[in-house]
Amino acid sequence: MTSDGVRMWRSDGGVVLLGRGVAGRWEIAIEVEDVYRGQGLGRRLARTGRHLLGAGRAVWAQPSGTAIALCSFDLGSAT
């Protein structure tokens, strides 16, 4: 789905959104349904978003600040 430059992908239990933000940089947002939390879905969605952009592209995220949200984006050197 595309709307105003934002792309959305849905999976069982969550969604990934990618779009251009400030200064044209790529930004990612993920959402995980409550019943799927604690199963690694957030981390898989974050990695999927990076994969969808392609190698070598930086992507920005603004996790909510909770430990769970921050862990989803703690990808280290994952590709």
What per-residue confidence (pLDDT) applies to 1? 46
Among 4-13, 16-25, 59-68, whose mean pLDDT is lowest?
59-68
* pLDDT digit string, tens, across residues 19-63: 998 888 899 889 999 999 889 898 899 889 889 988 888 888 877
pTM of the model: 0.75
Spell out the domain ranges in the chain.
2-72
Alpha helices in the chain (DSSP H): 41-53, 67-72
Instruction: Please give the pLDDT value at position 65.
Output: 61
Query: Which residues, listed in sequence order, are joined to residue 12 by a DSSP beta bridge?
Result: none
- Using CA atoms, how far apart are residues 58 and 65, in angstroms rounded to an integer? 20
Q: What is the pLDDT of residue 2?
A: 45
Distances (CA, A) of 33 to 11, 41, 69: 11, 9, 13
Q: Where does residue 65 fall: left (phi above 0), alpha (psi -120 to 50 degrees), or beta otherwise?
A: left
CATH code of the region 2-72: 3.40.630.30
Reported as half-sphere exposure (CB side, CA atoms, 13 A), residue 40 has a value of: 3
